[in-house]
Structure 1
Amino acid sequence: MALEIKNLVGGYSQLPVLKDVSLDVQPGELVGLIGLNGAGKSTTINHVIGILRPFSGKIMLNGISIQDEPEKYKQQIAYVPETPILYDELTLKEHLELTMDAYGLDHDQAWQRAHRLLKLFRLDNKLDWFPANFSKGMKQKVMICCAFMTDAKLLIVDEPFYGLDPLAVHDLLGLIEKKKEAGVAVLMSTHVLDTAQRYCDRFVLLADGKVRARGTLDELRKLADRPDESLDEIYLHLARDGQNE
């Protein structure tokens, strides 16, 4: 098993945002984390990447606990945030080199991967550019290149499609498929449910800091008793039911 979250209670202050959240992501699997704004998606991700400490519960990655061995745990993760985070004083080339050093990658092999990614996202002639020269979409592509050139066992992508042009979205989804084929676990938070329906293997629906539903599309259809509906329609139905409880 790659990522396992058990009975997670956590948040930003004394009051918990997450209430007994349990979920898992298996190697070679793409799990979609979906929910309304404020449902707890970002809070869950912030606990998984180690920004927040759980009040209680366990987070394990390939048998390593973030609480017990945080450095070994974090070495296995690559993260593409919703809002790109770049260093103003570093060029694109220096961002890539910093990533290589942080993950202890062999620079020759890493540069081979990096050049393929840069060419794919049409950044190969911009190695000496600084973040001030990039659009939001280009900054997002830099984050994707940095994350996908690593050997991370778990990829976390948070609302990855915002700011990307249709070709870049297609290319990103192709990269995710290749990572899955290599046995990487992928957790993706997104509101683009038609894309999630086509590409995700399973889904976790959060509502009010709790897991409202989880499973494959067919399992969610059975749970909602809506055998022919799309993920978008099932999501709205389950989310509204959760608000009315």
Structure 2
Amino acid sequence: MSEELRPAYKRILLKLSGETLMGDQEYGIDPRVIGRLAREVTELSRIGVEVAIVIGGGNIFRGAGLAEAGMDRVTADHMGMLATVMNGLAIQDALERLGKFCRVMSAIKINQVCEDYIRRRAVRHLEKGRIVVFAAGTGSPFFTTDTAASLRAIEINADIMIKATKVDGVYDSDPFKNPNAVRYERLTYEEALSKHLGVMDATALVMCRDNNIPLRVMNIFNEGDLMRLVTGEPIGTLVERG
């Protein structure tokens, strides 16, 4: 472990949206973005942080969107789960090119490309210093990847869940539409739910609240903020039990 940087958390769950991987593109994966993310995650691992990642699939396929357009919801959600597996494999490749061991674990059986999700095996991977990417959501339709991230954070006993977004925290209104939007430094889960702030869906928030998992919402595009957050700086917005 580095003598200069001391992590404030031993084990984290990093939630990335699929759209994060697009960069400035309209679709797919920007190699520059995924390369930078891999470098930042690798640096966390090098200072002794156990890192688990949940990735969405919105850069490839959005199940909810096609369901709204008339596709069978279960079929659409299964397609969205497969998109998260594709993103997980891309993250694994980027990490392994940096010399970091990584395991993709899928909630649906797809054994020829990645491992099945088994909680004890996932924890063992983390204990050995491997980065673990949880793919395919919860394995069931009608659940978001935010809910999957909350579930996995609870199952692996993460010290904190970090939701990486394109804004630097939670605001009282959309900061892209309202230049006077106010950013919260801290919220309780009850406030986030009652004010409908769009932090995560209600199921994900309630799971974190009931299992006492703190949440930090940050801007993943601010290079270096992830390391600063994990080493104890008050980056973004903290959401926790009141």
TM range (shorter): 0.3 to 0.5
Larger-gyration structure (1/2): 1
Could you say which structure has the greater relative contact order, defined with CA pairs below 8 angstroms and 6 or more residues apart? 1
TM-score scaled by length of structure 2: 0.33
